[in-house]
Each structure stands twice: as structure tokens, then as C-alpha cells.
């Protein structure tokens, strides 16, 4: 079959890498770079604001000013924003890269906790032994038992299971997994399935060379196997005939895969081709948001290198009355190759709703929360600060994995038209979800 894939995000690239073993693939990407939301930029340049705006992000703060950063960030490789990949070797991303024999090293770590004091790892052996019976009961319940908890919120689960440190765990990890602060919206079964996927590996990993090493590895494999990737080729329209996708922009294909946040598919395909109820539901699906920050320091305590730390702050002014987040030092490792010699990049984020991410009045508070937690890890970090930047994003995950926000299937109501990426009901969230969509599409094509 001849297949057109619209978008070279990780969902599109992973789908192409999967299907190219049996089919002929053309990928169309509207931007000049591949990778979609997993872009790695060479420093910050005069186009930075425009670039991030295309991915529904805004620059909230910069020190020194953005203009001054053009020079100072030369030699840094900067992802679009904070990224870690959940599940390590067990996650869909690392598995898919293994399938194509990609040689990418990952820096992995356990998680620490920034509370009254810093705990690393967050869970001691004693904690684990204490919680083990209840965690085992939850995690290793039968699939049907977990599925029955689909509509049970984490807020309710805390009432039933949340004693001692397990309460803290349930207050933090579901938020970090779903990128949503409101525990009443997070499904207990989704959280348990996600946690189960992660058992046994490093909970979080980051690729050496930055995120672009992942998209480059897929692209190399696709091209080596005869696929085409056309950049700066914005697709205007999917051609539909008798409820069947027959091509794009007048060029015939046997199947079309759309890899873009699903709320946006109507920019390339007329609403009239779908039932009105479906269109309304898709347009109303909620995404996730955050403030994402980078701090570049000229000194760092070796003990922090590679580690990730989580935090949760009570705050009645935000959805869910709390803000969870993370500060990560994997980028700081010189092996990652992202900063000039003796400069260290720290990435961090604080979760907020998409509406809060767009609301300038919330930006100061989110920034303060990140800084307060960073200060707890590195007292007086500002003394060693080279530069810092804070962006907000209101489309981090295509569709939030939360109750009453049902992700669509990869198979659409139109024959030979499929959806790839992090908006669909594949396993995991973010990058893993985007890449796992390829496995589902492979089951249909």
C-alpha cells in the first residue's frame, strides 16, 4: 500500500517506522524540522518566540532578556521544553527504538522528593516494605478489577487506600503521570496501568543528545528503508470519496495517517465528513498544560547529577488546589552533550491547566514555585546562574488522560483514515502514547 503520513511528530515517525516493513511511506511535515513537539533547537535565536508559538507555547520570563540570550545560548541544545520519558526500558519509546536497532543511550534515574527535607530516593526500603501489601493489592489486581476503577478518581482512591506515605505517593504520581493537578479528574485505573507499565525499569529516562536523537533515529530508519520525509510541506486537505480517504492535496494514497493534536484535524479535513456529535466531542477534548523552565548554571553539585526530584505544593489558586512538578538533572550530565563545557542545564516544570498556562496572572506564581523548589535543592543557585527561561504550554499532551475525556481510537469513521500521536487511546502518556499509537495502527493496516 502507498501511505501518506501527515506530521513528523514521534507518533508519525514511529508509525512510519512500523509500517515501512510492508508498505511505501511518504511523510509530510509543515515545519522545517522533524520531531514535532520533541524539537531540539540550537540555542535560542530571533525566531524562538515564533517557533514556540507554533506549538502553543509562550515565553513567560527570561533572564537576561530573550534578545540577550541569542548570544549566551550559543553552544546549547535546547528542547522545546522539559521532557523525560516514563517507564525506561519498559516504555513504548525505548521498545520501538530497540525494534529498529537505534543506538541511543539513555540516562535514567530514580526519583527523589522535595519536601520539608530532600529524600533520595523518595521511597526507602522500609517505606516500600510498609506499603508493599497495599501497593501489590492495587497493582497486581486482575485487569478487569483495575478496569472497574476507570471512573474511580484518585481523590476517592486516597480515601480508601491513602494512609502514610502511600497518601503522598497518590497525591504526587497520578498528577505527574497525567500532567493534571485535579485529583478528582484522574482515573485510578489509568494511573495503575501506567504504574504497572513502569515497574522494573528506571521510572524516567532522557536520551543522550537530546530529544532530536529519537526523531533522527526513526527518520534514518525510514529513509534507509525507502521512505520519504518531505519537510516544509504543509498538507492542506485530505481527499475523501465515498467515505474513504483516497489521498492528500490531489495525490492518491491507499491510506492516510494524521499525526497532529486531534482537535486540529479539522484544519485538513472538512467537518461535514463526520457525524456532528463526533466533531463536537473531538473539538472539546481537553489537553494538558505546564510551565516549563531551564536554568543554566556554571557550577553544580555532582551529587545531583542525573537525578530527578518531584514536588507538590498546596495552592488554592490553581485547579486541584495544588501544583505538582519536577526538577531534573539528567540534562546537566556532560554525557548528554547539551551544553558547553562546565555549563549545566537543569530542566523543570510545574503543572497547571491549559487555561492557567495562558493566564499571565498565574505565571509569577508558577515561576516562584519552581524557584522555591530549586532553591531547596541548591541553596543560593542564583549565584551560579548563567541564564534562565520560563515558557508556558497549553497543549503539552494532545489529550489529557482523565475521566470523561475519552481519547479516540486510531481508526476513524472514514475508511483508510487513521490517527497517530498522543491524542489517541494507546498506552502511556506523552511520548510513549504517541509512539504506542504506531502499534495500534499496525494492527489495522
Ligand X SMILES: Cc1cc2nc3c(=O)[nH]c(=O)nc-3n(C[C@H](O)[C@H](O)[C@H](O)COP(=O)(O)OP(=O)(O)OC[C@H]3O[C@@H](n4cnc5c(N)ncnc54)[C@H](O)[C@@H]3O)c2cc1C
Residue of 305, 300, 297, 245 whose CA lies nearest to 270: 245
Binding status of residue 7 toward ligand X by CB under 6 A: yes
120: preceding bond cis by omega (within 30 degrees)? no
Encode 57-121 in three state secondary structure: EEEEEEECCHHHHHHHCCCCEEECCCCCEECHHHCHHHHHHHHCCCCCCEEEECEEEECCCEECC
CB of 127 to ligand X, least distance (A): 25
Count of residues touching ligand X (by CB under 6 A): 38
What proportions of the chain, in percent to the nearest 5, are helix, strand and coil?
A: 40, 25, 35
- Which of 371, 432 has the CB closer to ligand X? 432
Query: Which one, 370 or 393, has the nearer CB to ligand X?
Result: 393
By CB under 6 A, residue 190 contacts ligand X: no
Q: Which stretch binds ligand X (CB under 6 A): 64-72, 220-228, 367-375, 425-433?
A: 425-433
**325 near ligand X, rule: CB under 6 A:** no
Rule CB under 6 A: say whether 247 interacts with ligand X. Answer: no
- Rule CB under 6 A: is residue 408 a binding residue for ligand X? no
Does residue 421 bind ligand X (CB under 6 A)? yes
Site string for ligand X, 270-309 (x = CB under 6 A): ----------------------x-----------------
Is 354 among the residues that bind ligand X (CB under 6 A)?
no
37 binds ligand X (CB under 6 A): yes
SS3 302: helix
The DSSP code for 336 is G
One-character DSSP codes across 359-428: -HHHHHHHHHHHHHHHHHHSTTGGGGEEEEEEEEES-SSSS---TT-PPPPSB-SSBTEEEESTTSS-SS
Asked whether position 162 contacts ligand X by CB under 6 A, the answer is no
- Rounded Cα gap, residues 294 and 266, in angstroms: 34
Q: Does 350 bind ligand X (CB under 6 A)?
A: no
Of 53 and 136, the one with the shorter C-beta distance to ligand X is: 53
Taking the complex as a whole, how short is the minimal distance between the CB of residue 203 and ligand X, in angstroms?
Answer: 12
Half-sphere exposure in the Cβ direction for 75 (13 Å, CA):
11
Q: Which of residues 226-245 bind ligand X (CB under 6 A)?
A: 234-235
The CB-of-206 to ligand X minimum distance in angstroms stands at: 9
Our finding on whether 431 is near ligand X (CB under 6 A) is yes
- Residue 210 near ligand X by CB under 6 A: no
The yes or no reply on residue 48 touching ligand X (CB under 6 A) is no
Closest to ligand X by CB, 19 or 393: 393
Binding ligand X (rule: CB under 6 A), the pick from 83, 295, 343, 407 is: 83
Which of 348, 290, 367 has the alpha carbon at shortest distance from 63?
367
> Which CB sits closer to ligand X, 12 or 325?
12
Asked if 130 contacts 121 with a C-beta cutoff of 8 angstroms, the reply is no
Helix (H, G, I), strand (E, B) or coil at 285: coil
Nearest C-alpha neighbor of 374 from the set 176, 43, 118, 65: 118
Question: In whole angstroms, what is the distance from residue 368 CA to residue 6 CA?
Answer: 39
Shortest gap between Cβ of 9 and ligand X (angstroms)?
2
In the complex with ligand X, which residue's Cβ is closer, 158 or 353? 353
Whether 191 and 178 have beta carbons less than 8 Å apart is answered as yes
Q: Which stretch binds ligand X (CB under 6 A): 67-75, 238-246, 331-339, 431-439?
A: 431-439
With binding defined as CB under 6 A, does residue 222 bind ligand X? no
CA-wise closest residue to 187 among 150, 162, 142, 156: 150
**Does residue number 55 form part of the binding site for ligand X (CB under 6 A)?**
yes
By CB under 6 A, residue 218 contacts ligand X? no
Contact positions toward ligand X, by CB under 6 A? 6-12, 28-31, 36-38, 55, 80-85, 234-235, 259-261, 268, 292, 393, 396-398, 421-422, 430-432, 434
Amino acid at each position: 500500500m502507498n501511505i501518506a503520513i501527515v506530521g513528523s511528530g514521534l507518533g508519525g515517525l514511529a508509525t512510519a517506522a512500523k509500517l515501512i516493513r510492508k508498505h511505501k511511506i511518504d511523510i509530510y511535515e509543515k515545519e522545517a524540522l522533524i520531531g514535532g513537539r520533541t524539537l531540539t533547537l540550537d540555542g535560542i535565536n530571533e525566531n524562538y518566540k515564533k517557533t514556540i508559538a507554533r506549538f502553543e507555547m509562550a515565553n513567560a520570563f527570561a533572564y537576561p532578556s530573550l534578545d540577550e540570550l541569542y548570544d549566551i545560548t550559543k553552544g546549547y541544545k535546547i528542547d522545546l521544553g522539559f521532557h523525560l520519558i516514563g517507564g525506561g526500558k519498559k516504555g513504548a519509546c525505548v521498545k520501538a527504538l530497540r525494534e529498529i536497532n537505534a543506538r541511543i543511550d539513555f540516562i535514567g534515574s530514580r526519583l527523589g522528593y522535595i519536601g520539608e527535607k530532600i529524600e533520595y530516593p523518595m521511597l526507602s526500603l522500609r517505606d516500600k516494605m510498609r506499603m508493599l501489601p497495599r501497593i501489590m493489592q492495587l497493582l497486581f489486581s486482575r485487569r478487569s478489577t483495575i478496569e472497574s476503577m476507570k471512573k474511580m478518581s484518585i481523590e476517592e482512591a486516597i480515601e480508601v487506600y491513602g494512609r502514610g506515605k502511600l497518601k503522598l505517593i497518590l497525591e504526587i504520581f497520578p498528577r505527574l503521570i497525567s500532567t493534571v493537578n485535579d485529583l478528582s479528574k484522574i482515573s485510578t485505573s489509568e494511573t495503575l496501568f501506567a504504574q504497572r507499565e513502569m515497574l522494573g525499569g528506571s521510572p524516567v529516562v532522557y536520551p543522550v543528545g537530546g530529544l532530536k536523537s529519537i526523531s533522527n533515529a526513526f527518520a534514518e530508519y525510514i529513509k534507509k528503508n525507502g521512505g520519504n520525509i518531505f519537510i516544509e510541506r504543509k498538507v492542506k486537505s485530505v481527499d475523501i470519496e465515498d467515505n474513504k480517504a483516497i489521498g492528500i492535496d490531489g495525490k492518491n494514497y491507499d491510506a492516510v495517517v494524521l499525526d497532529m493534536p486531534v482537535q486540529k484535524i479539522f484544519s485538513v479535513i472538512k467537518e461535514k465528513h463526520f457525524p456532528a456529535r463526533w466533531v463536537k466531542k473531538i473539538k472539546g477534548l481537553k489537553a494538558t498544560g505546564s510551565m516549563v523552565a531551564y536554568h543554566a548554571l556554571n557550577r553544580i553539585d555532582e551529587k545531583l547529577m542525573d537525578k530527578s526530584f518531584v514536588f507538590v505544593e498546596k495552592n488554592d489558586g490553581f485547579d486541584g488546589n495544588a501544583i505538582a512538578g519536577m526538577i531534573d538533572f539528567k540534562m546537566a550530565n556532560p554525557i548528554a552533550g547539551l551544553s558547553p563545557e562546565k555549563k549545566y542545564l537543569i530542566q523543570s516544570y510545574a503543572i497547571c491547566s491549559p487555561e492557567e498556562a495562558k493566564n499571565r496572572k498565574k505565571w509569577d506564581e508558577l515561576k516562584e514555585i519552581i524557584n522555591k523548589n530549586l532553591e531547596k535543592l541548591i541553596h543560593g543557585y542564583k549565584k551560579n546562574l548563567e541564564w534562565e527561561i520560563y515558557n508556558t504550554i497549553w497543549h503539552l499532551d494532545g489529550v489529557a488522560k482523565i475521566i470523561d475525556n475519552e481519547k479516540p481510537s486510531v481508526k476513524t469513521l472514514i475508511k483508510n483514515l487513521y490517527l497517530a500521536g498522543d491524542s489517541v487511546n494507546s498506552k502511556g502518556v506523552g511520548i510513549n502514547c504517541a509512539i504506542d499509537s504506531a502499534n495500534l495502527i499496525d494492527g489495522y493496516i
